Structure formats: structure tokens, C-alpha cells
Structure 1
Amino acid sequence: MATRAKALRLVAVLITCVLTASCSLFGSSSNTSTADIERNTLRIGVLPVVDVAPLRIALTDKLFEKAGLQVNLVTQPSESEAIKQLDTTLDITWATHVSLFRSVAEGTELQLQGEAYQAGPNSMALVTGATSDYDDPGKKPAPTIAVNSETDIGGLTTRAVLDTAAVEKQKIKFQSMPYGDMEAALKAGKVDAAFMIEPFITKAQRNIGARILTDTARGPTLDFPLSGYASSKKFAEQNPKTLKVFRDVLRQAQQRAQANKLAVQDSLTSYADVDQPTAALVSVGTFPLSLNPIRLQRVADMMDTEDVLSGRLDVQQLLPPGTTS
């Protein structure tokens, strides 16, 4: 009996040692990814567009929290204003690639931290009013088009698509206005068409009976890379480990969004001023899982061709060190 008791005590000690070591091991591994990051809080600039739905999903699913990051999404009035706020009130911002590349060309030192969104069918389009006779892209030789900015994605893709319809680019008359004002401009007949993205397209269709004149993700802009996330180069150099964690979580969030478009549509009701019936009709594009320099170079080269940039921009130079795809 004594021998058996001793054996049982020995087994108990061994089990305790194994469990203690295991706990120590697992505890150590769970903290490894976040223990040495430079900071645990990130302020990210966003606009109320489909592109940022994965960030909302990541917050709902506590993906950032599990990775040791507290993320605050800060709604911005415009992309240009958000880019200006980097290193002051923002650490990272969402913006279209066109806005980001134009800022770099103007002297802003940025580093790309992730791709956000890629165009799909009717995720961006030229939209007309319900009673408009503008029913073919080539029908008007000098159309007046509402865009969020003549030098942003709206102006760039509108020129490309209307050019294929034999409309001379120099004859297009652009009127710059926020997406939220385009619906009223169409209804009042102040513009012939408006370049819109989701969820503004679906909202205009439901609110005023707007019609899609042409999908602008076609021909030269098929599957066009629309937007991404960037930090200042200074912030990136000071916080490489933190941004690596951000990119890892973003990839997880993008995967979830890509696999569950219904979750994307549902998330819109929480931040994009749309009700559930409208959200259910929103066209959803693609959420890329990585920074792809070849894909992004396509945007920069089109900007060069359309004279939005004064010369060719090498996108590879804007990627984090070691990032090749």
C-alpha cells in the first residue's frame, strides 16, 4: 500500500508539472504576438462605404481585441482630410488608391498597409435620374457628370468608360460634390449623371428611382482596385510590429467578409445610414487578402495615362519592407 501510495503521489506530481509547464507554454505563446508591439491603440479614419465593412466585422468579432489591439474607427468628412490627419488625430486611414497615390505624388510620404476593396459588378456606376433620357453612355457628347472629385476614382473611371463610348474626355463637364448630395442633384436635373459607389447607388435607386446608365467596372476598369489603408511612412517606421499585427487581423477580416457577403450587407446598417431592405440589395465587390503591387500598379499607370499624375509612380516603393504580394 505504501508503495502504491508513493506511486500515486509521484504520478500526481508529474501531472501537476506537465499541466504547469503547459499552462506556462500556452500563456507565453498567446502573449508573444502582442507583448512586444510598440503600441496597442490604433485610430483609423473611415468613410461610410462598403469598403470598410471588414473593419466593422473585425470589431464585432473582437478580432483586434484578441490580437491585443484597441482600434477606434473615426469617421472622416473626406479622404483628403483623412490623409491630412495622419500623425495628428489618425494613425491609419482608408482612402481610394487614387487619392493615396495622388497624395504621394504631391509629396506626402505614405506606406500602404492593406488593400480594402476591389470593384465588382455595379459596385461603382454612372447613375441617372428616373425620368432622364440619358439612356446610353454615348448619347450625350458633352455630359455633365457629378463626381466626388474630378481627380479621384470617379473622374478617372468615368473618363475611361465614356472614352470607350466615343465621348471625348475633354468635353465631359464634371461637378464635384459629396456622394450624399448626388441624389438631390439628379432629382433636380442639375447633372446628367452621377458617379456613385455603394451603398449610395442602391439608396438612390430606392429613394428616387435612379437608374444605372453604365457599370463603371467594365472594360479598362474591370475588377478595378478601388481602395486601401495607409499610414504615414514615419508612423510605419516607428511601429512596424504594431502594423504587422494590424495587417494580420485585416487579412482575417477580409477573409470573413469575402466568405460572407450577407455579413457585409448586415454591417452596413450600423454605419452607412441604410435600412435592412436597402442593405440587402447593395452590390458587393471583392475584398483582397494581400497587398499586390502588380494589381495596384494598374491604378497608378492609369492615373499616369489620364494625366492625374505627372509621371509614373512605382507602387512597390510604397509597400512595407518584405511585402511582395
Structure 2
Amino acid sequence: MATRAKALRLAAVLTTCVLTASCGLFGGSSNGGAADMERNVIRIGVLQVVDVAPLRIALTEKLFEKAGLQVTLVNQPSEAEAIKQLDATLDLTWATHVSLFRAVAEGTELQLQGEAYQAGPNSMALVTSATSDYDDPGKKQSPTIAVPSEADIGALTTRAVLDTAAVEKQKIKFRSMPFAEMEGALTSGTVDAAFMIEPFITKAQRKIGAKILTDTARGPTLDFPMSGYASSKKFAETNPKTLKVFRDVLRDAQQRAQANKLSVQDSLTSYADVDQPTAALVSVGTFPLSLNPIRLQRVADMMDTEDVLSGRLDVQQLLPPGTTN
């Protein structure tokens, strides 16, 4: 009888153990393996762009929290500044692939952790003022174009698109300024056109009646890979499990954003300084679900062709070990 009583007690303990997953019999845990991570707190640099909407959705729906990660999004004044803050005040950052690849070419050791955004119709474009007569990309042979930086995705794609309109790249005059200043530059006539991304395009259309001169995701830049997330190589080497969890949650968030563009537009009102009517008109591109070296190599090769890089960059070398697509 004593033996049978012991057996019953053991069975009860085992049953409780399985139901609560608290005994660790099978190496599992109730927090999805968070205990195995090197750290469970990360800070990510972001800008107020559509690209980062999935991160906002992930926070709202507590996807990071469920995976055992505490994520803080930190607004940055620019991509260049965000990249500089890696290993200082930031663990990861969002930036355009062009900015990330330029940083690598200049000696910054980075590892890509995810793709953020791929261009769709009018998700990036050259826009003009309401009264401008600049109504065809080939109409001006030496246009003055506002861009955030003369060496970023705006300048790169502007050259490519205007080249197809028979405008000589050397004759394009770029003027660097933040997106927030471009509406004023258009209205005053300081520039002929401005390279903008969403939600700045829609905001300019509604506020000053801006017109789209040309989509900059067309021809050689159709479906252009726009941006992604990166950490320093040092952080990646010391926190591979943490970053694997980040990539898994990011994939889930990207998938949700891709399946529900309305949720993306709605999320903009919480961080991008746009009202609901404006957000509802914002053009939304594609949110990739994985790191694709072939897709990303396209950006690096265009940068090489346009002499933004001094030589060909092998993007495969920037991916986490074992990541092939």
C-alpha cells in the first residue's frame, strides 16, 4: 500500500509539473525560452517613418513582451546619428540600407538583423509645389532637388529615375535638409522638387497641395529594398540568442503589418505626427519577412554603379551566421 501511495504521489507531482511547465523536465519554460537569452532589454533607434510601423504594432500587441524581451524605441534625429549611437545608447537601429552600407564601407562593423521595408507605388517620390510647372521628370536638365543627404537613398534613387528621363546625373543639384523643412523649400521655390517618403509625401499633399512629379520606385528602382535593422558586429557576437528572438518577433510583426495595411496606417497616428484622415491616405509598401541577400545585394550593387561606394560590397558577409534568406 505504501508503495502504491508513493507512486500516486509521484504521478500527481509529474502531472502538475507538465501542466505548469515549471519543473523544466523537457528543457522548456513558460516565457518561450527567454531565460536562454544573454539579455532581455534592448533599445532600438527609430525615425518617424512608415517603415517602423511593425515595431509599434509589436509593442502594442505585446509580441516582444510575450517573447521575454523588453524593447524601448528611441527617436533619433537622423540615420547617421542613430548608427553612431550603436553600442553607446542603442543596441539596434533602423536605417535605410544605403546608409547602413555606406557606414560599413567607411569602416563601421555592422550586422544586419532584419529588413524593414520595400518600396511600393508612391511610397517614395519626387514631389513639387502646387504651383510648379515642373510636371515631367525630363523637363528640367539641371533641377535642384531637396534630399535628406546627398549620399542617401533619396539621392541614389533620384539619380537612377532622372537618368531614365535623359537628365544627366552630373547636372542634378542636391540640397540637403530634413524632411520637415522640405515643404517650406518647395513653397518658396528654393528647390524645384523634393525627395520624400511616407508619411511626408501625404502630409505635403494635404498641407501645401504638393504634387508627385515621379515615383522613385520605378524602372531600375521598382520594388526597391528601402530599409532595415542593424546592430554592431560586437553586439551581435555577444548576444546571438537575444537577436534571434528579436528577428523572430520582427518576422511576426512584419507578417501582421503586411496582412493588415489598415493597422499600419492607424499606427502612424501614435508616432508620426499625422492625423487619422492623413494616415488613411498614406501609401504603404511591402514589409519583408526575412533577410534576402539577393534582394539586398541589388542595393549595394546600385551604390557601386553610382559611385556611392568605392567598390562592391558583399552583403552576405553582413548577415547573421546561418541566415541565407
Bin for the TM-score computed over the shorter chain: over 0.9
Say if 2:60 is the partner of 1:60. Answer: yes
Say if 2:43 is the partner of 1:22. Answer: no
TM-score (norm 2): 0.95
SS of match in other structure, 1:317: helix
SS of match in other structure, 1:132: coil
Q: Structure 2 matches for 1:1-325, cutoff 5 A?
A: 16-17=12-13, 19-25=15-21, 28=24, 29=28, 30-31=30-31, 33-325=33-325
Q: Distance in 2 between matches of 1:252 and 1:113?
A: 14
Q: Distance in 2 between matches of 1:32 and 1:178?
A: 41
SS of match in other structure, 1:196: strand
Q: Distance in 1 between matches of 2:249 and 2:107?
A: 29
Q: Distance in 1 between matches of 2:281 and 2:117?
A: 18
1:31 is displaced (CA, Å) by 3.7
Q: Distance in 1 between matches of 2:9 and 2:90?
A: 53
1:191 is displaced (CA, Å) by 0.5
1:40-59 deviation digits (Å, cap 9, x = unpaired)? 10000000000000000000
SS of match in other structure, 2:158: helix
Can you give the 5+ residue segments of structure 2 that lack an aligned partner in the other structure? none
Q: Distance in 2 between matches of 1:10 and 1:78?
A: 66
Q: Distance in 2 between matches of 1:281 and 1:96?
A: 23
Q: Distance in 2 between matches of 1:251 and 1:27?
A: 30
Residues 17, 23 of structure 2: 8 Å contact kept:
no
State the one-letter code of the partner of 1:16: A
State the one-letter code of the partner of 1:25: A
After superposing the two structures, state which structure 1 stretch, 19-28 or 305-314, moved more: 19-28
State the one-letter code of the partner of 2:299: V
1:150 is displaced (CA, Å) by 1.1
1:16 is displaced (CA, Å) by 3.4
Q: Distance in 1 between matches of 2:31 and 2:74?
A: 28
Q: Distance in 2 between matches of 1:195 and 1:277?
A: 23
**Structure 1 pair 174–27 and aligned structure 2 pair: CA distance change class (3 A):** farther
Percent sequence identity over matched residues?
83
SS of match in other structure, 2:21: helix
SS of match in other structure, 2:33: helix
1:83-138 deviation digits (Å, cap 9, x = unpaired)? 00000000000000000000000000000000000000000000000000000000
Q: Distance in 1 between matches of 2:35 and 2:41?
A: 13
Q: Distance in 2 between matches of 1:204 and 1:268?
A: 16
**Structure 1 pair 14–36 and aligned structure 2 pair: CA distance change class (3 A):** closer
Residues 109, 233 of structure 2: 8 Å contact kept:
yes
SS of match in other structure, 1:262: helix
State the one-letter code of the partner of 2:15: L
1:19 is displaced (CA, Å) by 3.2
**Structure 1 pair 12–109 and aligned structure 2 pair: CA distance change class (3 A):** same
Q: Distance in 2 between matches of 1:85 and 1:138?
A: 40
TM-score (norm 1): 0.95
Residues 186, 194 of structure 2: 8 Å contact kept:
yes
**Structure 1 pair 27–197 and aligned structure 2 pair: CA distance change class (3 A):** farther
After superposing the two structures, state which structure 1 stretch, 305-314 or 33-42, moved more: 33-42
Residues 32, 67 of structure 2: 8 Å contact kept:
no
SS of match in other structure, 1:270: coil
Can you give the 5+ residue segments of structure 1 that lack an aligned partner in the other structure? 1-6
Q: Distance in 1 between matches of 2:200 and 2:95?
A: 17
Q: Distance in 2 between matches of 1:315 and 1:195?
A: 26
Q: Distance in 2 between matches of 1:76 and 1:52?
A: 13
1:14 is displaced (CA, Å) by 8.1
